[in-house]
Structure 1
Amino acid sequence: MITSRKSLKKQKPTRRRGALVVEMAFVLPILVTVIFACLEFSRMNMIRNTAKNAAYKAARKAIVPGATAAGAQTEATNLMHSIGVNDSTVTIIPPVITSGTMTVTVNIQTNLSGNLFFAPMFLKNKSITTTCTLNREDY
């Protein structure tokens, strides 16, 4: 097919000149909201996984002979602080670990409102609670 040079030249602008701006005005807020939601849920998932890991490590520290509940609580608190979570509540059951203690339970509760990257839009008034129970090791 042979075309003339005239048809290859720039054509006159059409009436769709502002269509891109209008489409962007509709799509951009939705795109930004989805990106912020992804970041917020990623942070929530990181807090949840770290809380599970901290509960396990604290329980693991508490089940060995000679361990104390204070040492386990410090272990869990330090792990939560490592990702910037400052207001988690760590509870060790029983509060005093003796040679007769059979199991140790570590509960960690974290409020998400103060620990997310942005103002909590999607996870308002939500908290994460994780528990780990391990049998004590006696040699």
Structure 2
Amino acid sequence: MVGHHIMKHDQIIRAKRGAALMEFVMCLPVLLVITLGTLETCRMIYLRQSLKLAAYECARLAIVPGVDSQMVQDQCDVFLLGRGIRGYTFTCTPADPRDAIYGELVTTNVSMKAESNAIVGAWFYRGKTLSESVSIMAEY
């Protein structure tokens, strides 16, 4: 009788382990999607903030007397490539900041396709473009 009781106890333990394994297997895809979605969302927030900072730094540089468009482009490249961001485009209005007259707005714009910098892949942000711009008044 004692052997029969031990056998039943072992079967119960195996059944509980099997049930726990099945629950884990069923929940794992949901947990992975939530985790990857969170990572991807955080990455997009980081990218958007990086674009805004790059646009701001470039606009600040563009209003400095004597700074040309290549210097502003170089500033953007250094800033964004230093953050591991690729596939972006940069524009400055006016095209040559030296052409800005006193009181005119100098606008810098940085944009990129979200999928070119995604962690997981492009399925969350397929076809989306992130873009940030900053305008600063020329004071010289």
Same fold (TM over 0.5): yes
More divergent stretch after superposition (103-112 vs 74-83): 74-83
Partner of 2:138: 136
* Structure-1-length-normalised TM-score: 0.84
- TM-score, structure 2 length as denominator? 0.84
Matches within 5 A, 1:1-139: 12=9, 13-14=11-12, 15-96=15-96, 97-98=98-99, 100=101, 102-138=104-140
Contact 1:58 1:76 in 2 (8 A): yes
Note the alpha carbon deviations across 1:17-43, whole angstroms, 9 max, x for none: 421011011111111111111111111
What is the CA RMSD across the aligned residues, in angstroms? 2.0
Q: Is the 8 A contact 1:77 1:88 kept in 2?
A: no
User: Do the aligned partners of 2:94 and 2:100 also contact (CA within 8 Å) in 1?
Assistant: no
**Aligned residue pairs, count:** 130
CA shift for structure 1 position 106: 0.3
Residues 116-125 or 49-58, more deviating: 116-125
Percent identical among aligned pairs is: 27
Contact 2:108 2:135 (8 Å CA) reproduced: yes
Once the two structures are superposed, residues 30-58 of structure 1 have per-residue CA deviations (whole angstroms, 9 ceiling, x without a partner) of 11111111111111111110100000000
Q: In the TM superposition, what whole-angstrom CA distance separates every residue of 1:61-105 from its partner, at most 9, and x where no partner exists?
A: 001111212211211122111122221000000012226252210
Unaligned runs of at least 5 residues, structure 2: 1-5
1:105–1:133 CA contact under 8 A, matched in 2: yes
Structure 1 or 2: larger helix share? Answer: 2
